[in-house]
């Protein structure tokens, strides 16, 4: 997880060549730690022409989650929380879920069992009943915005 976050930060920072190299503190909201110093030093090395580590702009890559932000991953992903909320909201229309994994874990509040079973978590995330339940796209967007 830490390596994943650091990788994303490094790649995002490498795009900000001019402002990062010349800024007094390119990461003002970060604590002054060895990690922060290492990231800044790395970006300076790979963006400074003449440096043995220089990477041409056209060879640089950056990786972002969805819209360019980092998802909250702890204690669970927002998308997973959304799926849990949808199970609860749709349960009256699906009485069979009381006996069916992974829905029964959610409906009985057994998050320990749900989180311990990776296959159930993925099944919950991928269930079309939670996503497409016959709603047009604009209605689905309204549900998401309303937290339904």
- Report the C-alpha gap between 57 and 61 in whole angstroms: 8
| Domain encompassing residue 104 | 78-146
Please indicate, yes or no, if residue 73 is contained in any of the structural domains: no
The answer to whether residues 128 and 94 belong to one domain is yes
3-11 average pLDDT score: 54
pLDDT in tens, 55-72: 999 998 876 565 555 556
Tokens of 122: 């993925």
Identify which has the larger pLDDT, 47 or 114. 47
Please indicate, yes or no, if residue 44 is contained in any of the structural domains: yes
Three-state DSSP at 136 gives coil
Three-state DSSP at 69 gives strand
The answer to whether residues 131 and 91 belong to one domain is yes
The answer to whether residues 45 and 82 belong to one domain is no
Three-state DSSP at 65 gives strand
Model confidence at 13: pLDDT above 70: no
Beta carbons within 8 Å of 14's beta carbon, 6+ residues apart: 42, 43, 46, 47, 55, 60, 62
Please indicate, yes or no, if residue 69 is contained in any of the structural domains: no
pLDDT value at residue 76: 74
Closest CA to 60 of 107, 15, 19: 15
Please indicate, yes or no, if residue 71 is contained in any of the structural domains: no
pLDDT in tens, 105-136: 999 999 888 888 777 666 666 655 565 555 55
Q: Domain count of the chain? A: 2
């Amino acid at each position: 997880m830490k390596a994943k976050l650091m990788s994303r930060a490094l790649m995002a920072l490498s795009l900000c060549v001019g402002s990062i190299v010349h800024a007094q503190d390119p990461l003002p909201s970060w604590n002054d730690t060895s990690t922060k110093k290492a990231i800044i030093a790395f970006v300076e090395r790979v963006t400074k022409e003449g440096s043995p580590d220089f990477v041409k702009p056209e060879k640089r890559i950056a990786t972002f989650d969805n819209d360019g932000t980092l998802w909250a991953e702890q204690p669970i992903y927002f998308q997973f929380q959304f799926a849990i909320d949808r199970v609860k909201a749709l349960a009256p229309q699906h009485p069979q879920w009381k006996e069916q994994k992974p829905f029964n874990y959610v409906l009985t509040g057994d998050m320990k069992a749900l989180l311990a079973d990776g296959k159930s978590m993925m099944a919950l995330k991928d269930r079309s009943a939670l996503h497409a339940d016959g709603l047009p796209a604009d209605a689905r967007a309204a549900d998401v915005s309303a937290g339904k």
